[in-house]
């Protein structure tokens, strides 16, 4: 079942907590997730990757502090590691936690540097296994992966991430079939939002408070 995202339907602006609650605890950690859940945010955003043996877990950076690629390390080794004394959460455990706590998640699919469809296939399997489709929005910079998700699972909620402004939005959104699009806060203009809303798609403003000079 797709989540209702538009303010015109919900009556208010929805709030998403980034990487669990990264300002209060190590990002993508259980501590951050629990704080994000307690904060009352409508969605908790988190990043999902695959280990070498195909286990889905939470981690933003594609590499570990020692320089190894996350996708080159088996889960048996990854589960022993900690970042700021926090272990990597298993996605399956997080999905069960979200279902039991009636919490909605935004899963940022980190599909870079791995074969196409590997991560998406595993995430879809876990959503079915845990019956958490109604608790999840799938988000990605890879719009082809998002379209493939929509073609096979049209009832799932998806969001396309874009960095800059597009010349034209209607055709892009029609092609990706996304339910929402994320804009970088410091770049987006009212006319962009109007175009997206005109075709019934929700807008997410990301990186609020991040200096544009960083990019």
- Per-residue model confidence as pLDDT tens digits over 22-56: 889 999 999 999 999 999 999 999 999 999 999 99
* β-pair partners for 202: 180
In a domain, residue 2? The reply is no
Per the prediction, the chain carries an average pLDDT of: 93
Please give the helix or strand (H or E) that residue 33 lies within, else none.
Answer: helix 30-39
Asked whether residue 113 is domain-assigned, the answer is yes
Q: Is residue 140 part of a domain?
A: yes
Residue 207 placed within a domain: yes
The whole-angstrom separation of Cα 126 and Cα 135 is 12
Ramachandran angles phi, psi of 149, nearest 5°? -60, -45
Note whether residue 32 is domain-resident: yes
Quick: pLDDT tens for 128-182.
999 999 999 999 999 999 999 999 999 999 999 998 899 999 999 999 999 999 9
Q: What is the CATH number of the domain that holds 25?
A: 3.20.20.190
Contact 126, 56 (CB under 8 A): yes
Q: How many domains does the chain have?
A: 1
**Residue 7 in 3-state DSSP?**
helix
How distant, in Å, are the alpha carbons of 30, 147, 165, 214 from that of 160? 26, 10, 13, 22
Strand residue runs (E) in the chain: 16-17, 43-50, 56-58, 82-83, 86-87, 105-109, 136-140, 157-161, 180-184, 202-206
Query: Is position 131 within any domain?
Result: yes
- Give per-residue burial for 71-90: e unless 16+ CB within 10 Å, then b: bebebeebeeeebeebebbb
pTM of the model: 0.93
- Does residue 123 sit within a domain? yes
Q: Which domain holds residue 49?
A: 7-214
Does 63 fall in a domain? yes
Q: How confident is the model at residue 215 (pLDDT cuts 50, 70, 90)?
A: very low
């Amino acid at each position: 079942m797709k989540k209702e995202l538009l303010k015109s339907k919900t009556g208010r602006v929805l709030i998403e907590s980034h990487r669990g609650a990264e300002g209060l605890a190590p990002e993508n950690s259980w501590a951050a997730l629990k704080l994000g859940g307690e904060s009352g945010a409508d969605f908790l955003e988190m990043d999902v990757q695959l280990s070498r043996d195909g286990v889905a877990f939470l981690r933003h950076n594609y590499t570990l502090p020692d320089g190894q690629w996350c996708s080159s390390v088996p889960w048996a080794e990854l589960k022993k590691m900690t970042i700021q004394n926090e272990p990597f959460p298993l996605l399956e455990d997080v999905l069960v936690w979200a279902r039991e706590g009636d919490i909605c998640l935004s899963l940022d699919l980190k599909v870079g540097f791995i074969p196409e469809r590997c991560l998406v296939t595993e995430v879809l399997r876990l959503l079915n296994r845990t019956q958490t489709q109604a608790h999840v929005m799938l988000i990605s910079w890879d719009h082809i992966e998002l379209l493939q998700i929509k073609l096979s699972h049209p009832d799932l909620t998806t969001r396309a991430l874009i960095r800059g402004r597009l010349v034209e939005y209607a055709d892009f959104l029609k092609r990706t079939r996304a339910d929402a699009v994320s804009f970088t806060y410091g770049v987006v203009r009212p006319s962009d939002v109007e175009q997206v809303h005109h075709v019934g798609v929700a807008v997410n403003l990301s990186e609020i408070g991040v200096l544009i000079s960083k990019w």
